[in-house]
Amino acid sequence: MILDILERSLRERSPLIPVEALWNTCEGSRLPDVDPALLTPAIARRVSEICPTAAFTAREESNRMELKLSYGECIGCARCIDVGQGAIVAAKAFPWTGVSKQRLVRRWSVNDRAEVQVISPESEEARKEICALLGRALNIRQLDSGSCNGCEAEITALTNPHYDLERFGIHFVASPKHADMLLVTGPVTRNMAEAVKLTYEAVPAPKLVVAVGACGCSGGVFAGSHAVVGPVDAVIPVDAYIPGCPPTPAMLVSGILQVLHQRNGNR
């Protein structure tokens, strides 16, 4: 029976996802996007009131309204999509992964029905540059600073034959002393704060730190808890952020490659 399964597996077409299909996609993450043409003051107020983490906030000043969305605080609950009347939709193209904390925030003018600061996706030229980096080795130490393990489940999927992170020359290592990058999940609990600092110090320079998930970016639903120090950047320096609750494997791959692109571009 085992030989039959192996034979059938070898004959079947590989399920490996190509890089082009991974890049800048977030399908399945439930993260929202905004269609400004359909945005109204009533919808802006409604989504800001219903958002459990205040990822959406509406501000009125001088008869003008601005809607702000912070992907770092969004947990993908999709409540905003349910009440958004088509103005709030599930995002598909998603260039806001592996970026700075400032770039996780988007704003729309409700009166003008337009995005105030448009962050356009990476150009095709940039994508080619990132793909050219895939042959370079990168060692990652994944650090759980207080996660619910939702992000860990998605990170584990990166090593399966469907995503196969190691085809990019990217490997997970057991010791921070062997790592180039710390991939940190969860809010930092008080019991883990010292361990997070020690792990960071053990990674040899030059090193990269990436905060993963809403909890790593902002504290998520645990923000303000007496048991939590705060997001990852409250304890150690963070180079880039991958939002989502949890981020999908495609978002994780895209974010890691984006961080690599930025690091090599700054050299």
Per-residue pLDDT of the chain in tens (267 residues, 90 and over written 9): 677 766 776 677 767 888 778 888 888 899 999 999 999 999 999 999 999 999 999 999 888 999 999 999 999 999 999 999 999 999 988 999 999 999 999 999 999 999 997 555 444 454 455 455 444 578 999 999 999 999 999 999 998 888 888 888 889 999 999 999 999 999 999 999 999 999 999 999 989 999 999 999 999 999 999 999 999 999 999 999 999 999 999 999 999 888 877 766 554
Cα separation, 103 vs 106, in Å, equals 7
Residue 145 lies in a domain: yes
CATH code for position 128: 3.40.50.12280
* Number of folded domains that form the chain: 2
Residue 25 lies in a domain: no
Residue 130 sits in the same domain as residue 258: yes
Exposed, middle or buried: residue 223 (CB in 10 Å: 0-12, 13-18, 19+)?
middle
Residue 74 sits in the same domain as residue 183: no
- Domain end, chosen from 80, 115, 150, is at 115
Residue 27 lies in a domain: no
- Domain end, chosen from 115, 146, 179, is at 115
Residue 241 lies in a domain: yes
Residue 14 lies in a domain: no
* Residues in CB range of 265: below 8 A, 6 or more apart: 129
Structural domain harbouring 179: 124-265
Residue 153 lies in a domain: yes
Residue 39 sits in the same domain as residue 136: no
* Residues in CB range of 49: below 8 A, 6 or more apart: none
Count CB-CB contacts under 10 A for residue 96.
Answer: 27
What is the value of pTM for the model shown? 0.87
* Residues in CB range of 121: below 8 A, 6 or more apart: 24, 93, 95
DSSP lists the bridge partners of residue 87 as: none
Whether the bond into 176 is cis, omega within 30 of 0: no
